Structure 1
Amino acid sequence: MSEIEKRMLPAQQCELRAVPPSDGQSGPAKIAGYAAVFNMRSDLLGGYFVEIIAPGAFDEVLAQDVRGLFNHDPNYLLGRTISGTLRLTTDERGLAYEIDTPDTMTIRDLVVAPIARGDMSGSSFAMRVAPGGDTWHEEDGVVVRTIYKVAELRDVGPVSFPAYPDSSAAQRSLDAWKQAQQEGIAAHSLSEREARDRLLTMIELKALGAK
């Protein structure tokens, strides 16, 4: 089962833009924007919960080999951190990226031009949350997931249709938290995170035994 989760950021939050070459310089345009913002609730995910990304969640993945992709499609590789054509930084707002786009007609027509016109509607990233890197709680009838640590950042980049697809990895984590609540495992002797991790281990062992 894949642990990779995809998250999208709407246009009004991602500040996606095409940056033309500076005066007197030549070369392809750059793409810049935010792939994620901190301390802001997402839309409802999977119809079950909202999500918040805490500052510092990406601190340990900025040096990883991350791709810049259009619509998460590996056929449209825009840049890569290992080659220096994709640069990742974090600030008080969130996870920012800048990509030196390939100087090809395909990328200019499909990606750069729509961004420059304001047609491209958001940014996205694909991640794997670290074990124990998130917590769950209920607030005013809404289940809230807070992500504190990302173990893997797979890709970032612009997307045509920002949306929050269902995530099986997040759903399994949510189900474990709900079960812990129902069975009273998250008692005073166990933290919420410890209870959820214990249940996840039990679920994984049960799945392995059923094979």
Structure 2
Amino acid sequence: MDKTETRELITQGIDIREEENGSKVLSGYAVKWEMKSVVMGYYRKFREQFKQGAFTESLQKDDQRFLWSHDTSKVLGRTKNNTLRLVEDSIGLRFELDLPKTTLGNDTYESIKRGDVDGVSFGFNILPGGEEIEEPDDDLMLRTVTKAKLLEVSAVAFPAYPDSEVSARGYDPYKNYVEGKIRSEKRKRLYLQTLI
């Protein structure tokens, strides 16, 4: 059974630049340390955060890819050939990506430059002993990831982490989705009560 998890966030901005030789480069953060997620989970609700150094071992020995929206057929770069560079700093896991001179590379650059896509997501597997669980004051379990295998980083259209540019502008797609599901469940319960 595949236990790959993905997490999405809006960055404080994906930086884009065009070099003198015409190459296009994206940079930003795939994850920021100790930034709590939105409420997640189906059966047991929880929040999540990542500790600094969570990916250190994986960055040293694994080959990560940068994808378009988690699509493994749309690879934009990888660490093995140095078109994707990943480094952990005091803020989080920083990436720098040399976009390919392809239709996908150009489309990615234009979508991010226009602001249509400003989210980043990452896929990972938690390694044995790589999580800490605690019950904070708000009665939601907090999962802190301390050691994980990083599989990929993706540019995405619908990021889900709070403290983002989209949230600051008053629109958070994930929050709206969750609130819509809650409203739908309430309507179903009210309808069932009228039948009794």
Q: TM-score, normalised by structure 2?
A: 0.76
Structure 2 unmatched runs, 5+: 162-196
1-side partners of 2:118 and 2:21: how far apart? 27
Q: CA separation in 2, counterparts of 1:89 and 1:115? A: 22
Which residue identity does 1:44 align to in structure 2?
V
Match of 2:103 among 102, 105, 120: 105
2:80 is equivalent to residue 70 of structure 1: no
* Corresponding residue of 2:174: none
Contact 2:27 2:94 (C-alpha < 8 Å) held by counterparts: yes
Count of residue pairs brought into register by the alignment = 157
Q: Which residue of 1 aligns with 2:79?
A: 81
- How far the C-alpha of 1:119 sits from its partner, in A, is 1.7
Structure 1 counterpart of 2:58, from 57, 61, 64: 61
What's the CA shift for 1:87?
0.3
Deviations 1:114-156 (A, max 9, x none): 1111221310110011111101111111210011111x21101
- Pair 1:3 & 2:6 matched: no
Q: Select the residue among 142, 159, 163 that pairs with 2:156.
A: 159
Return the alpha-carbon distance in structure 1 between the equivalents of residues 130 and 17 of structure 2.
35
Q: Which stretches in structure 1 are left out of the alignment for 5+ residues?
A: 165-211
SS of match in other structure, 2:59 = coil
How far apart are 1:11 and its partner, in Å? 3.7
Percentage identity across aligned positions?
A: 39
- 1:127 matched to 2:124: yes
Report 1:1-211 matches (<5 A).
1-12=1-12, 15-21=13-19, 25-46=20-41, 48-63=45-60, 64-109=62-107, 111-140=108-137, 141-150=139-148, 152-163=149-160
Normalising to structure 1: TM-score of the pair?
A: 0.71
Q: Distance in 2 between matches of 1:106 and 1:99?
A: 13
The answer to whether the 8 A contact 1:27-1:103 is kept is no
The RMSD of aligned alpha carbons is 1.4
* Runs of 4+, deviation exceeding 2 Å: none
